[in-house]
Structure 1
Amino acid sequence: MTKIMSAAQAVASIQDGQTVASVGVIGWTVPDATLAAIGKRFSETGAPRNLTFYFPCGTGDAVGIRGMDHVAQEGLMKRIVSGSYINPVNPHTGERPALMRLIQENRIEAYSWPIGASMHWLREVARRSPGYMTRVGVGTYADPQHGGGKFTSRCDDDLIQKIRLNGEDLLFYPSWPIDVAIIRASSADEFGNLSFEDEPLVSASLALALAAKASDGRVIAQVRRIVPGGERAATSVRLPGMFVDSLVVDPHMMMSTDTPYDEAYLRPSAVDARLPAIPFGPDKVIARRAALEVRKHELSIFGFGAAADVPLVMAEQGLIDLENHPNDYWFTTEHGSYGGIVMNGWQFSANLRPQALLDGVTQFDVIDGGLCRFAALAFAEYDSNGTVNVSKFGKVNPGAGGFIDIAMNAQRLVFTGSFTTGGLDIAYDAGRMRIVKEGKVSKFVDTVQSRTYPVADGVAAGQSALIVTERAVFEQTPSGLVLTEVAPGVDVRRDVLDLMAFRPAHILDPLPLMPESLFTDSVGHQADAVVDS
């Protein structure tokens, strides 16, 4: 019997109350047609109902590739567990994703796990073990003492437990079955053997499939094309067909947001690999300053948001030479792409001109093993206790993504972001900055809304940590937060201290200036910029 069928046929057997898990990383490797078929079936028939959806990463961009938004329907979705949530406003409609609205209105059970846990948990399900145990996340919002990863008040079940073993506090994630896994690959033969030759990321596809089969569940694979059996070398097949139940063919599936196909994301030798330009302004200033902390021949990992601009700025400055010295700098992200240039915005996750690729579960072995020595990450709030927040602020609930695993296990940390947000307007002239309009919200608060990572605890254990903004640089030390640099043209009291809910433990005296070269654009003329990082 053929495994090839339509998306509607593939999802027709999903039953009420089942757990459905899907791969996807923002717009990358999303089985969008299959997820759309689930949403369409429910809209037309009212079935299936009360599903639990498991997304190791935020899936879809809520614009062109809707991903998890296809199934964000009350009645269809009872519960969702995800490593991150897609939150930005749709530029065409001005609306936030449907899933985020369900979360904000408390209409579903929404849980947020660190992506390291959401990846590694799948391996435990595949092993039929009792669950996943880790020290990562203790003292964060994933810790039951600080919320247990619950993002809505409807969440009654404790999906994360705190245990003590050999005198150490650990987090334990009990396993449960995966009934249906939806994955994506590039090609399949008629037997279901899968290869990923056109996918810049593999992410959780392999782990999802094995977890579902170990649960006596089904695996649906969405692919771009069918190839004859025996045409590909066995070394190119990543998942044997015996673990695939259904094949959905979508020849038009996008590689990622606004990208039907681009070879530059697949191989280091791609010749047509144009880098996006970062406009001169606060984000670029922040990225330039953070770039000063990056070292050659040290595995450096970059997170979503302002931090992802750092490699692009370094390339623009000529510090990275992929033609002649491709191994001077070692760059990666939490999603397993190695080498080349980390991309920003909707293209974040895959690298341009990569040299190698690990699957998502293995990449978090690298991260949790401390092999990424340097990490640049964004921040949304920083508080008087030395705790950083990116997971929940205001009405925004993006979750932590890989932030917690990365921050806990790197040796050197740089947190990047604007000092204030909400309409910040800055002008630059001759290497100096001037605040035209201050942002409505300061990011330096008395107590963070969500404990994403206790930086002070990491510093006490031997980490180093800088906080880089467009107007000032801070260092978290064992004695507290220290103001170490200020931008030329900034009034320290008016533009820094008076906007903080707490006073730094120390201010260097004399207080060094950030390098003037950071504040001049490439052609040397005055520039104005508005930022909302």
Structure 2
Amino acid sequence: MEQIERQDLQHIVKDGDVIGVAALTVSNLPAELLRNVLEAYDKTGSPKGLTFINANDISSMGIEPELDDFVERGMISRIIMSIMTASPKTADAIKNNEIEAYFLPQGVIATHYRQTNSILPGVITKIGLNTTIDPRYKGGRTNDKTTEQLVTFLNIESEDYLHYQLPPVDVALLRGTYADAQGNIYVSQEAYLSEGYSIALNAKSTHGTVVVQVKEIIDTPDLNPDDVFIPGSLVDYIYVAGDSKHHRQLIQTHYDPVFSGEATTNERIDPPLPFNTRKTILRRAAQFLNEGDTISIGFGINNELSNLLYEENVEHQVQPVQDIGIFGGFIGSGKHFGMNANFDFRLRHDQTWDFIYNGGISVAYLSFAEIDQYGNVNVSYFGNRMNGCGGFIDISQSVQRIIFSGSLVARSQLTIKDEQLEVIEEGTTQKFIPEVSNIDFNASYAKTLNQEVYIVTDRAVFELRNEGLTLIEIAPGLNLEKDVIQQMGFKPLIAKDLKTIDHTIYQEQWGLLAQSIH
């Protein structure tokens, strides 16, 4: 292990290198390392032609270096990631065929590092079959410039699989809280336990370089060897951040021990959810919970489910899980995203996917952008947006019970009065359409997996049955034809015993979720 200064980085990152980063927004982001790489390019015109691999999104609202900073300089030739939510220049570069780009399942990216080396052949898995990731569809490729197949189709003993072969990491740019004198890395103050160890393994397996940004190097007998996150034998260089502002724990704070599990809090991270149709969607969706469920909480509306569980005093009956490695506790949402507190325990990001792939999740709460007449779901590409699939595909193909949640029509205005729903103004965009252009969830494949699938909207509840997508409940106060069927791009099957959604969820004060969990 060698300690380096900022000027040394220009000799480490070279043209054409594959860069491995393990971060979520600014959490675990080696921001000062990335800033120094940008400065080196501004001075010398190098490094360029880089490939960035990152399982999560590293957008930072302009607080720290992010993808857009590299793309606008022309430094990146290819990106491999699962999700991209706030990098408009990168999205434009992809749409304009200026760079190659792959959106692959988050769990596959996070776990592939330790499965891709001279001994192991890369990831062979069923995750991604019959979706946009399958090479029989798009193979995860986003534009015409992206021609190389990183995903191939295999049939092994009459079973279908996908084979993911991602390029090895030349330079791992990672982060920890501290390093000791031997170069061992500790992450005691981080809000997110990344897949950094696996990236370091991948780099070392092909004689790549591992650089880790830390707050300081410490040498004290109080260090617990069980707390080592990355062994020093995997670390080539340590970089001590010269400015703590480039070592933020979260976008919202430089450091708070609550969010790294070093302390607990009696205060709610989020205020209680306002009473509106968004809240009634969550209430109806939560009625599908069973006692002891481990719940995968997705992004979008379902990120607010933890808030509802606490409001209803049932948080002890189930365990919410975020695929970034948070188990239990209060999961922050909206502007408090990433601010998770009082959790039961944490796992490394890649270990969390091991948990999910092996049946650790009993029910998944997922959002949707579009749903078609067959029950297929699109979350990656809609309108002018290019988001990627994140962990949606991994999760939706690894659990037996799925609850999709969202509004029936985008940007409509509804009101609740006397425990009934009323449409004030119709929306502008249908979300239930004849056929989705991009398949992230394949309904026909889900049936072969015997999955239990429900779709909860503000106006109606649907079930994916063998005979097709079936409307099973309608909100009280609505007209079936005018307010539901006419607002869809197709006519769903309608259950013979069509029911009205439980009217009690339309009360401002509810408190009845515990009665539904059994």
Question: Shared topology, TM-score over 0.5?
Answer: yes
**Counterparts of 1:11 and 1:23, CA distance in 2:** 21
Matched, 1:515 2:502: yes
Please list the CA deviations of residues 190-221 of structure 1 after superposition, one character each: whole Å capped at 9, or x if unmatched.
33211111113212111111111111111111
CA deviation after TM superposition for structure 1 residue 12, in Å: 4.1
SS of equivalent to 1:466:
strand
Relative to structure 1, the CA distance from residue 385 to residue 228 in structure 2 (aligned partners, 3 Å threshold; closer, same or farther) is same
- Residue 265 of structure 1 and its aligned partner are, at CA, apart by 2.3
2:104 aligned with 1:116, yes or no? Answer: no
Label 1:346 to 1:131 Cα distance change in 2 as closer, same or farther (>3 A).
Answer: farther
AA of the residue aligned to 2:321: T
Q: Distance in 2 between the 1:131 and 1:317 partners?
A: 44
Partner of 2:187: 196
477, 481, 484: which one aligns with 2:465: 477
Alpha-carbon separation, structure 2, partners of 1:161 and 1:384: 29
Distance of aligned partners of 1:488 and 1:234 in 2 relative to their CA distance in 1, 3 Å threshold: same
CA distance in 2, matches of 1:418, 1:142: 26
What are the equivalent positions in structure 2 for 1:18-417 lying under 5 Å apart? 18-73=17-72, 75-87=74-86, 97-126=88-117, 128-228=119-219, 230-250=221-241, 251-252=244-245, 253-267=247-261, 270-277=264-271, 278-320=273-315, 326=316, 328-345=317-334, 347-348=336-337, 351-417=340-406
Q: Which amino acid aligns with 2:112?
A: W
Counterpart Cα distance in 2 of 1:16 and 1:222: 21
Please give the alpha-carbon distance, in whole angstroms, between the structure 1 residues aligned to 2:360 and 2:314: 23
The aligned residue for residue 3 of structure 2 is: 3
Structure 1 segment 427-466 matched on structure 2, within 5 A: 427-466=415-454
By how many angstroms is 1:231 displaced?
Answer: 4.1
On the 8 A contact 2:325/2:349 being kept in 1, the answer is: yes
SS at match of 2:292: coil
Please give the per-residue CA displacement for 1:33-85, whole angstroms capped at 9, x wherever unaligned. 22222233223332111111111212233443443333223531000000211
Distance 1:12 1:70, change over 3 A: farther
Corresponding residue for residue 93 of structure 1: none
- Alpha carbons of structure 1 residues 41 and 272: separation in structure 2 relative to 1, 3 Å: farther
Determine if contact 1:56/1:115 at 8 Å carries over to the other structure: yes
Following superposition, the deviation at residue 474 of structure 1 comes to 0.6
Q: What one-letter code is carried by the residue in structure 1 that aligns with 2:268?
A: R
Q: Residue 162 of structure 1 aligns to a residue in which SS?
A: strand
3-state SS of 1:352 partner:
coil
Return the letter of the residue paired with 2:276.
G
Deviation at 1:147, TM superposition (A): 0.3
Contact persistence 1:56–1:82 (CA under 8 A):
yes
Higher alpha-carbon deviation: 457-466 or 344-353 = 344-353
Higher mean alpha-carbon deviation, 155-164 vs 498-507, is at 498-507
SS at match of 1:288: helix
Q: Distance in 1 between matches of 2:63 and 2:166?
A: 33
CA distance in 2, matches of 1:358, 1:472: 37
Structure 1 residues 334 and 523: CA distance shift in structure 2, 3 A:
closer
1:521 match: secondary structure: coil
Output the amino acid matched with 2:482. R
| Structure 1 vs Structure 2 CA RMSD | 2.1
> TM (normalized to structure 2)?
0.93
C-alpha distance in structure 2 between counterparts of 1:22 and 1:132, whole Å: 19
The answer on whether the counterparts of 1:36 and 1:70 sit within 8 Å (CA) in structure 2 is no
The structural deviation recorded for 1:175 is 4.2
Q: Which runs of 5+ in 2 are unaligned?
A: 512-518
* Residue deviations 1:385-437 (CA, integer Å, cap 9, x gap): 2211111112211111111111111111000111121x322222222222222
1:527 paired residue number:
none
Cα separation, 1, equivalents of 2:481 and 2:73: 49
Higher alpha-carbon deviation: 296-305 or 475-484: 296-305
Q: What fraction of aligned residue pairs are identical, expressed as a percent? A: 29
Checking the alignment, whether the CA contact within 8 Å between 2:277 and 2:416 is kept in structure 1 is no
Q: Could you tell me how far 1:319 is from its partner in structure 2?
A: 2.2
> Is the Cα–Cα contact under 8 Å of residues 48 and 74 in structure 2 kept in the other structure?
yes
Matching residue's letter, 2:255 = Y
Q: Distance in 1 between matches of 2:442 and 2:107?
A: 17
Counterpart of 2:452, as a letter, is: S
What amino acid is aligned across from residue 428 of structure 2 in structure 1?
Answer: K
Per mean C-alpha deviation after superposition, the further-off stretch among 332-341 and 21-30 is: 21-30
Gaps of 5+ in 1: 88-95, 321-325, 525-533
Tell me how far apart the structure 2 counterparts of residues 302 and 319 of structure 1 sit (CA, whole Å): 15
Q: For residue 41 of structure 2, what is the amino acid of its counterpart?
A: F
1:364 Cα offset (Å): 0.9
Q: Distance in 1 between matches of 2:483 and 2:401?
A: 27
What is the CA–CA distance in structure 2 between the aligned matches of 1:459 and 1:415, rounded to whole Å? 16
TM-score by length of 1: 0.90
- What per-residue deviation string (whole Å, max 9, x for no partner) do you get for residues 477-523 of structure 1? 111111111112222111210111111122344x3222233223349
CA contact (8 A) 1:4 1:190 kept: no
The answer to whether the 8 Å contact 1:164/1:170 transfers is yes
